[in-house]
Amino acid sequence: MGTVPVSVFIVVAFVSVVMRRLSFVNGAAIPSTVDGPFKPVTVPLDKSFRGHAVDLPDNDPRVQRIVTGWEPEQIFVSLSSTHDSVWISWITGEFQIGENIKEMDPKTVGSSVVKYGRWRFGMTKKAMGHSLVYSQLYPFKGLQNYTSGISHHVRLTGLKPNTFYYYQCGDPSIPAMSDVHYFRTMPASGPRSYPGRIAIIGDLGLTYNTTSTIDHLMSNHPNLVLLIGNASYANLYLTNGTGADCYSCAFSDTPIHETYQPRWDYWGRFMQPLVSKVPLMMIEGNHEIEEQIEKKTFAAYSARFAFPSEESGSSSTFYYSFNAGGIHFVMLGGYTDYNKSGDQYQWLKKDFAKVDRKVTPWLVATWHPPWYSTYTAHYREAE
């Protein structure tokens, strides 16, 4: 298939873009950001969308559990480090919340399986992965604890570039398989090869503004979505489900910053129509910290998403890299050590050393709060 110029539309994000070299597609130069501003080529944003930052209630049909038994839900596609591999993620079983809960055993569902192929009725390939459960526990009487359903992550390999694949996920031995979904792989890396459109969003939440933002995004038919931190905003709630726009303003006397983890499940269900077919790449933000017992943090973030950390040489879910055509993306962590002596800095030096600007002329770095900033809302937050 032919390639088209990259067009990137930004909904909400903290983004740092480094474009040090002019690229060409179909003989035409891709301009740098300093040559702009340019007339948008995406569907215009309806300004009437704004002003509706009211959370979706838990009885909204878009956040309800509609599967039964061990059928998969909250199905996500994410990328590996190169075009020939993707991750498929999903959740089975129901979460538990209360003072007395018991973690499910991932072995309850015998296997994590994805059947896939290039034709809807020819899904002859099969891949298997791993599963896990996480909990959000509080050491204070009266607070409700949470344990998740079973998260499954399966990596598909040997894929062709810029190609549609159909897939089903679940456990065929029960049987409990999903409906048929599809995704499109990224173009092969090269100076004339790019995804058609990349959506960059952040501070998404689960409000009526979220619904209009995602509707707007989907109307522009992106090939890839970057979520630069702050997904569900579950940490704006007490464990009993009471929420507020400003946690510290409304709940200043709580002994620990509580969360209402079911908001993550609501968010995953709402997002499935998009992210079951368009790859989503996530990096942590401040609303993913979610401190719990023994000062554990980022439990939901690390369990619910698949990251190409190992494939990109990273030892952490907080930072990783991947290619999308002629673009090398570096997803950096603002909530882990970024000093020169730290693992992230050392990994980043090695990652940059592997970048061939003749193959990936565009280098894009993203993170939620910049490492060095005087912005008071995030100033020295990770420290």
CB under 8 Å, gap of 24 or more: what pairs does 51-55 form?
A: 51/209, 52/207, 52/208, 52/209, 52/212, 53/205, 53/207, 53/208, 53/209, 53/245, 54/207, 54/208, 55/205, 55/206, 55/207, 55/233, 55/243
Residue 152 annotated in active site? no
Task: Name the DSSP class of 45.
Answer: P
Residue that has been written with the tokens 């599809």 in this structure = 182
Task: Name the DSSP class of 224.
Answer: E
Please give the structure tokens belonging to residue 95. Answer: 């979460």
Task: Name the DSSP class of 174.
Answer: T
- Residues with Cβ within 8 Å of residue 45, at least 6 apart in sequence: 216
Residue that has been written with the tokens 């983890």 in this structure = 261
Set 52, 152, 287, 378: catalytic member:
378
Indicate the residue type of 124.
Answer: T
Burial class (CB in 10 A: 0-12, 13-18, 19+), 157: exposed
Contact 304, 132 (CB under 8 A): no
CA dihedral of 336, 339, 340, 343, whole degrees rounded to 10: -20
User: Can you spell out the DSSP letters for 298-320?
Assistant: -HHHHHHS---TTTTT-S-TT-E
Buried b / exposed e along 206-218 (16+ C-beta atoms within 10 A): bbbbbbbbbebbe
Please give the structure tokens belonging to residue 175. Answer: 């049987």
Between the alpha carbon of residue 93 and those of residues 143, 148, 150, 264, 355, the distances in Å are: 23, 8, 6, 14, 41
Q: Which residues are catalytic?
A: 378
